[in-house]
Amino acid sequence: MEEKFPDVQPSIKHLLISIVVPAYNEEKAIGPVIDEVRAAMAGAGYRYEILVVDDCSKDRTVNVARARGVRVVERAVNGGSGSSRKTGVLSAHGEIVVMLDGDGSYTAADIPKLLGQMPAYDQVNGARTSEEGTIKWLRAPAKWFIRKLACYLTRVRIPDLNTGLKAFRRDVMLEYLWVLPKGFSCVTTMTLAFLCNGYSVKYVPTTYKKRIGKSKFRPIKDTANYLGTVLRMVTFFRPFRFFGPVALVLLAASLSMGIWDFLDTGSLQEIDVLLFIAGVVTLSLGMITELIVRQRATNDRELDYWHEVYREVKAPSEHES
């Protein structure tokens, strides 16, 4: 007789959710953001904490946050958005981390929608349905180009590469904190770290609002960092996707120029040989680095996470730590 096992629906409702809000000079927005988060989580059935990470604000951001009764971590040195997010991940108590900016631009009411996609997905992002940031004429085309490049390099459709509203497994992110930059491209790195290492990523549409207060976006520098982040992440985690096409271009150039020179002069030129050697070396480098990256993969953390997800517990009571 075949033994039957009961169907178990995996859930994260018994896990603690850490909602991390990085903030820098957001005294006008941080209070409403905290209130919106609480309203969103009320009745959702999740155990959660709200953690505000202050990046040396010069206004009353810390006082306003503490007056709302949430946990506040004050950084000793101003390090940028990425540094605040790193501190938030390290300081979080929960197994699942939710992040949203402290400027009021993201819709906190969508947080339960993101959490509802877990644990089926390792990271869930809020894909913005509109662009409300400053300097749209520069941001929109730059984001489109870099997003398309990231889609090609990762072979995954990415509707919103640098969204600041995301939910993810803390244990996975801890492994890749070393690669997170200090600036705005941090959220892009968080997404690519999961995508490039085989973790499942989901996108949920969310409404993006005009931020409260003054934007801290630096158009030239932050756009350049944004592009560099995509290339750097793929080189770190999917090196052959970068070195492979470069090698093929060099080899194709060597072959075409070699045929032309042979038909024209009856012999090969030095440049033909140099291009061929460069192509072979680049191809070999890509294959070796790809093997090194793949060898680092491990399933031990994955097993621990799913054991925790399937752990039988009593029905959780909603509270905020």
Please give the Cα distance from 171 to 184 (Å, whole number). Answer: 22
* DSSP state for residue 103 in the 8-state scheme: T
**Measured distance CA(56)–CA(109) in Å, rounded:** 28
**165: Cβ–Cβ under 8 A, 6 or more apart, which residues?**
99, 100, 101, 106, 107, 110, 111, 114, 125, 126, 206
Pairing of strands 166-169, 123-128: antiparallel
Nearest to 148 by CA among 158, 136, 135: 158
One digit per residue, the tens of pLDDT, for the chain of length 321 reads 444 545 566 889 999 999 999 999 999 999 999 999 999 999 899 999 999 999 999 999 999 999 999 999 999 999 888 899 999 999 999 999 999 999 999 999 999 999 999 999 999 999 998 765 555 665 667 677 777 878 877 788 899 988 999 999 999 999 888 888 876 678 888 998 898 888 999 999 999 988 786 766 566 666 677 677 777 777 777 788 888 889 999 999 999 998 998 888 888 888 989 999 999 999 898 888 877 766 555 556 677 787 778 775 444 444 554
Domain ranges of the chain: 16-237, 239-295
Q: CATH number of the domain at 16-237, please?
A: 3.90.550.10
Q: Is the pTM of this model over 0.85?
A: no
